[in-house]
Amino acid sequence: MTQYDYIVITAYFCLLLTVGYFTSKFVSNTSDYFRGGGNMMWWLVGASAFMVQFSAWTFTGAASAAYNDGWGVVTIYVGNALGFTINYFYFAARSRQMRAITTVEAVRERFDKFSQQFYTWLSIPLGVVGGSGWLFGLCLFISISFDIQLEMAIIITGSIVITSTLLGGSWASSSNDFVQLLVMVPVTIVAAVFAMDAVGGPSGFVEKMPEGHLDLSAPFTYGLLGFWMLSNLARQMVNCNNLIESGRYLAVKNSQHARKAAALAAILSYIGPVIWFIPPLAAAILYPDIGSMFPELNNPEEAAYIAVALDYLPMGMMGLMICAMLGATVSCMDTGLNRNAGIFVRNFYLPVLRPNASEKELMLASRLTTIFLGALIIGCALALANIKSFGLFELVQWMGSMVAFPMTIPLALVIFTRKAPSWAAWTTTLVGFTTSICVANFLNVDWLADMLGRELTETERRNWIPSFGLFANLTTCGSWFFFTMRFWNRMPEKRRQEIEAFNKRMRTPISEEESGCEKTDYKQGLLMGSVAMGFGSFILLLSLIPNPLSGRIAFLFCGGVVLGIGILLRRSSIKLRDRELISKAQELVSSR
């Protein structure tokens, strides 16, 4: 790391806090704080939806899977892309049309108050654990790059994320996601190009790759790889299409904006993995014994992406790379913090503790909850730093398949079915948890080895329980959920009518009157365009750093992308503002 990298990172931290400050002007109540008042533009929400699907874990935990096993890890992100495609055609518009403030409020309306509390107290701890994993992955990257203690990196970075979220709520989260996307895309492209060049170009990349890493027939010839890849696709598609994840679309202006946001996230999700996993795959060629390079790490292969970036990126570009990693993780953490604070305040504090609380009190409670949950995330991340029995990739796989997946199955199925009773969701989740316990204890890797009559490879041992557990949960939870539909007619008539009203509302497009104010539209564009232009100009100045010509071109490319998008966004927003002013002037003249 050079002094230029530190300058870049300092400027980026200041940018995050500046965005948080200015977006706080959009916040006047809890609806604004938790879902942007339902007035966000599609490009803000689409960028946020895309960014939340990955974090620095992609460049540490997932990168370790690419380093060890090859291209198969890409299926996780292809699953995201397919999930967003389903969003576009079916789920996104229905999510917005629920017209809720938080996702668990939608759970209450569709199911009942018990389900509301059940998912409230499951979502919050899972959100804390997930946030701690994201923070740990980022700080692993930072600690190696800066050569500082991992624990110190966790405390400092976590505190900055909390401060940013505290200021602007969902507005700050989504706005930061958009800026981070603008930075991350060109920087990761540059990293992929330099990594490919380091191994001798595309021909060297293919010829020197360890056996099986680029083998497209690997899913059919390497043990359980194909089974694991299918489980990735299934998990991510369900994770993208359920009531809990509907929160991303509650913030947009209307149904059309929701579909546009899903389309943007889908397009980016198809392109991203092709770029992200070139450096860790190249690391398998460049550093075959990466453990000797990072003996202090419990899982040194998690530093594969970092090693390539440190060795081959030009001076100052590593700072931008840290910003990209920070951006990816901040997007997960601040969105998770904001969502979980909303779940607690709107679904427990308000209905149970303080039914008559004012908006001012709810805003105070929201910010205090954000601080408390942020502190818990930092504490859990510090604990993860001392766990040696699990790698970061394995931990996320276990949590996703064995704990989170049983929760999401009923909340995904209910989007497509209308006649599930009020108790269907929480009982299905309990069936899933029971299934996970049985798989972990009775159908584990030892059982599989005995059944197959052979020793399992390390990859098979690592992936068996998450993969088999996911399909077992899909079978048992799905069967139980559809079984509960037999009891639909036994529910009270009043409750059935309420659920049918919810289903009808979810299928009714948002009218123009509900779409929010046009004044906020151009303000969003002007703010984000100005921020992008400012940071893009700063990146262009980094081309003056005494690098080789290739390094200077890299900065010109990154800065030009960010600046160009900022200019386009600002110009379109000025046109939108002018049209609104002309329209108001015409209305004034006609009224006279």
Residue 388 reports pLDDT greater than 60: no
**Domain assignment present for 243:** yes
Q: Which residues is 40 bridged to in the sheet?
A: 252
Question: Are 264 and 177 in contact, with CB atoms under 8 Å apart?
Answer: no
Please list, in sequence order, all residues whose beta carbon lies within 8 angstroms of the beta carbon of residue 152, skipping any fewer than 6 positions away: 143
What pLDDT band is residue 565 in, cutting at 50, 70 and 90?
very high
- CA dist 63 and 279 (Å) reads 8
For 536, the 3-state DSSP assignment is helix
- CA dist 592 and 584 (Å) reads 13
- CA dist 185 and 233 (Å) reads 23
**Domain assignment present for 404:** no
Please list, in sequence order, all residues whose beta carbon lies within 8 angstroms of the beta carbon of residue 48, skipping any fewer than 6 positions away: 173, 174, 177, 178, 248, 331, 335
**Domain assignment present for 431:** no
Residue 264 reports pLDDT greater than 90: yes
If one counts every other C-beta atom within 10 angstroms of the C-beta of residue 38, the result is: 22
Residue 142 reports pLDDT greater than 80: no
Question: Are 414 and 79 in contact, with CB atoms under 8 Å apart?
Answer: no
- 198 vs 458, which has greater pLDDT? 198
What values do phi and psi take at 40, rounded to 5?
Answer: -75, 150
If one counts every other C-beta atom within 10 angstroms of the C-beta of residue 451, the result is: 9
What pLDDT score does 534 carry?
A: 87
- State the CATH number of the domain containing residue 248: 1.20.1730.10
Please list, in sequence order, all residues whose beta carbon lies within 8 angstroms of the beta carbon of residue 487, skipping any fewer than 6 positions away: 421
What pLDDT score does 591 carry?
A: 66
Q: Report the number of distinct structural domains present in the chain.
A: 1
What pLDDT score does 250 carry?
A: 81
- CA dist 532 and 527 (Å) reads 9
**Domain assignment present for 223:** yes
What pLDDT score does 255 carry?
A: 87
What pLDDT band is residue 338 in, cutting at 50, 70 and 90?
low
For 252, the 3-state DSSP assignment is strand
Of the candidate ranges 306-310, 443-447, 575-579, the one whose mean pLDDT is the lowest:
575-579
The mean per-residue pLDDT over the stretch 124-149 comes to 78
If one counts every other C-beta atom within 10 angstroms of the C-beta of residue 389, the result is: 7
**Domain assignment present for 459:** no
What pLDDT score does 202 carry?
A: 92
pLDDT tens digits, one per residue of 17-68: 676 666 666 655 555 555 555 677 888 888 878 877 766 678 877 888 899 8
pLDDT tens digits, one per residue of 179-191: 778 888 899 999 9
**Domain assignment present for 570:** no
Range(s) of the domain holding residue 70:
3-395+512-516
pLDDT tens digits, one per residue of 465-513: 999 999 999 999 999 999 999 999 999 999 999 999 988 988 888 866 5
Sign of CA dihedral 162, 27, 367, 348: negative
**Domain assignment present for 387:** yes
The radius of gyration of the chain from alpha carbons, rounded to an integer in Å, stands at 24
**Domain assignment present for 174:** yes
Residue 1 reports pLDDT greater than 70: no
What pLDDT band is residue 297 in, cutting at 50, 70 and 90?
confident
